[in-house]
Amino acid sequence: MQSFEASGVVTAFEKTGHGEPIVLLHGGEADHSMFDGLAPVLAANFTVIAYDQRDSGTTRNPASAYSLADLADDAAALITGLGYDRVHVFGTSLGGQIAQVLAARHPGRIDRLILSSTWKVNRSPLDVNAEAFRTLASYRADTAGNAPKIAEFFFPPDYLRTRPELIDIFRGSSRDEGQKARRGALLAQPVAADLTGFDRPTLLLVGSDDRLIPNPETFALARDLACVEMKAIADAGHVASIQAPERVAEAVTAFLNSNKKAA
């Protein structure tokens, strides 16, 4: 891991591959390692930067509250700190929310945008999928015992039977209580994220079997975007970047290459 410091935040990141840069933004309970399968595939054609957000992985930040806007500013600082004017951005789940705010606050830093398995900023998860999020909240009272049931909201059951080790992801968190509290408070803070003026090519990418964020919630983002494509990864759940990294990379690569002339 390498590191970059700005505004008191020491961001840990991995940089691999060659070609046009693409920055990967992980989900709320993950860190950059969720892209351990996707990054090497993308690195055949792109310079891939996968980093740990605040209170994730080995990134170090002050023990004070922050918002999606702060996390978007961290991403912008990393992009410029690594010497890039613009990069492609891939954000999944909560990372997709950060990517939306990045696009609203720093549109000039984005070449092309991929929003994966995510939903509109400032829309409550309970409005997006009340049953799923309420059930998950009850299961998390005993993550060790309920890990198999929690995992089924992120991966299809048939896939988990072939990769049972993935259930261990949900047995507990390496974050301390302060880190969990700060991450947990993120979505309760309203943030400006108007994408109606964002005109860069954008791909809305979903797993067709996502039980956590319904596909229509992700595709609804198209209403605010000027130049948008939509793609579903067949038979994939919420974490397609782990379940089907080759197919995600294929969709991302095709999108980035097909839009070069249009952009």
- Strands 87-92 and 46-51, by their bridges, are unpaired
pLDDT above 60: residue 117: yes
Residues 35, 242: Cα–Cα separation, whole Å: 7
Q: What is the pLDDT of residues 154-208, one digit of tens each?
A: 999 999 999 999 999 998 778 999 999 999 999 999 999 999 999 999 999 999 9
Q: What is the pLDDT of residues 41-68, one digit of tens each?
A: 999 999 999 999 999 999 999 999 999 9
Strand blocks (E) in 41-165: 46-51, 87-92, 110-116
Whole-number pLDDT of residue 260: 65
Give helix 68-81 / helix 94-105 axis angle, nearest 10°: 70
Which residue, among 214, 262, 243, 240, has the nearest Cα to 90 in the 3D structure? 240
Which residue, among 55, 53, 76, has the nearest Cα to 64 in the 3D structure? 55
**pTM of the complete model:** 0.96
Q: Work out the mean pLDDT of the chain and round it to a whole number.
A: 95
Instruction: Give residues with Cβ within 8 angstroms of 193, minimum separation 6.
Output: 68, 97, 100, 101, 103, 104, 121, 122
Whole-number pLDDT of residue 259: 58
Whole-number pLDDT of residue 202: 98
Using pLDDT thresholds of 50, 70 and 90, give the confidence band for residue 262: very low
What's the DSSP call for residue 212?
S
